[in-house]
Amino acid sequence: MKKIILTSLALSLFLIILASALASAEFWACFNKGEIIDYCNPKVPDRTCASNMGCQYCISNYNESGDCYNGGNWMVCMGITPDCSDIGGNHTIDTSPPNLTLNSPEQDGLYTSRSVLIDFTTNEEADVYYLDNINGRGRWIRVCQECLSYSHSRSFNDGLNDITFRAVDVLGNEAFTDRQFLVDSRKPQIHKAEPRNGFASGLFEIQYTEENLKNITINYGNYVTGFQQAELSGCTSGSRQWCSINLNLAAYNNQEISYYFRVEDVAGNFKESQPKNLDVDTVFPVLNNNPHFWLQGEGRDNKYIYFSFNITEENLDDISYIDWSERTPRWRTLCSRLDEDGICEKKKSFRRGFHSLDIQITDEAGNAISTPKVEFTVV
């Protein structure tokens, strides 16, 4: 029984001594404004005293070899007199800017949403701001105050973004980091695709809006001859831009094809035009009686020109001319159809003077030929 009592007394005495030792190990370290508290534990951020009244920190011990402190137990420190201890190394003023590690947005990153993640850490408490160098009008926007880390999304404009981040510690030391990245949240727009109906000869055009164009392709063909794809060249980014391509449709002549355009931007957004069905005509009109397709009248009929066109063309659109002797020359129609023998005859009067005419024969697919120049004088 006595042995048990003695053992209990010894254990109680040990605990009292241990508690006293632990209590005596904690102390208050005092710092003036601007002085750094350097923690030995790399997972504990260093601090800078920001108060004009100075700062007190609960410390368990000071590591002389590392010139750093280990944080103490606040419950223990609250039980001791809050006097400043003389334990510690030289107190240095913080003159170094914060170390801002910016994880997002990435340099030259591409984002498909205007909502872009801002993610960073700092090695000390700092106020962090950003400046939009393109659209910000010189105004700094605060991201967070007295923060060590941040991970939230902010809204940025479509297109190129040039952003400067600034971290300011409690003493006004500043660090800057620049980021350039692209936001492309809008799909391309297609305004027109030509030809819209009728015939195709090989010329296709598209009008579109896309500020960050990657490419434009055309898909065309049918189930008889097959489908193909071609990429348009020389297309540029911008609003209501036109781009065209000339395809060799000889393999589809006198067949019906379907076609559509696909516009893709650098972010992978794309828009496709509505498919259109067209008859293919790649054969140009043929003027069989060239150059004997016109005759000027004589005498009182001198003002008349008699046209007689012998043409091989199944899908004639028109035969038109322009008279360069007119004050305001413009294209005028001579014929819009042929008889069953492929003939179109026209009698046309002209004013007195010299005349120089260009004549063009066009089919419905847009295939066109020009005749030799027609020149005559009306007296």
Tokens of 258: 């379907």
In terms of Cα–Cα distance, which of 97, 114, 110 is closest to 158?
Answer: 114
AA identity, residue 339: D
Task: Please give the pLDDT value at position 13.
Answer: 44
What Å distances lie between residue 311 and 45, 284, 288, 305, CA to CA? 90, 11, 6, 19
What is the arithmetic mean of pLDDT over 317-326?
Answer: 96
- The Cα 62–Cα 217 span in angstroms is 70
Residue predicted with more confidence, 133 or 74: 133
162 Cβ neighbours under 8 A, 6+ residues apart:
132, 133, 134, 178, 179, 180
151: exposed, middle or buried (Cβ count in 10 Å: 0-12, 13-18, 19+): exposed
pTM of the prediction? 0.63
What is the arithmetic mean of pLDDT over 350-355?
Answer: 96
- The Cα 331–Cα 319 span in angstroms is 10
- The Cα 156–Cα 135 span in angstroms is 10
- The Cα 104–Cα 257 span in angstroms is 48
Q: Within 13 Å of residue 317, how many CA atoms lie on the same side as its CB?
A: 17
Tokens of 331: 């294209």
Q: Give percent of the chain above pLDDT 70.
A: 93
Count CB-CB contacts under 10 A for residue 131.
Answer: 17
Q: What is the pLDDT of residues 223-251, one digit of tens each?
A: 999 999 999 999 999 999 999 999 999 99
Contact in structure between 126 and 151 (CB atoms under 8 Å): no
What is the pLDDT confidence band of residue 90, given thresholds at 50, 70 and 90?
low
What is the pLDDT confidence band of residue 36, given thresholds at 50, 70 and 90?
confident
25-34, 69-78, 91-100, 157-166: range with lowest mean pLDDT: 91-100
SS3 94: coil
What is the DSSP secondary structure assignment for residue 93, as one 8-state letter?
A: B
Can you spell out the DSSP letters for 33-44?
Answer: TTBEE-BSSTTS
- The Cα 37–Cα 30 span in angstroms is 9
Domains detected in the chain: 2-77 (no CATH), 100-183 (2.60.40.10), 189-280 (2.60.40.1220), 286-378 (2.60.40)
Contact in structure between 64 and 5 (CB atoms under 8 Å): no
Task: Please give the pLDDT value at position 118.
Answer: 97
Average pLDDT over the chain reads: 90
What is the pLDDT confidence band of residue 67, given thresholds at 50, 70 and 90?
confident
- The Cα 349–Cα 47 span in angstroms is 99
As beta bridge partners, residue 133 has none
What is the pLDDT confidence band of residue 66, given thresholds at 50, 70 and 90?
confident
Task: Please give the pLDDT value at position 54.
Answer: 84
Tokens of 33: 């404004």
R_g (Cα) of the chain, nearest Å: 43
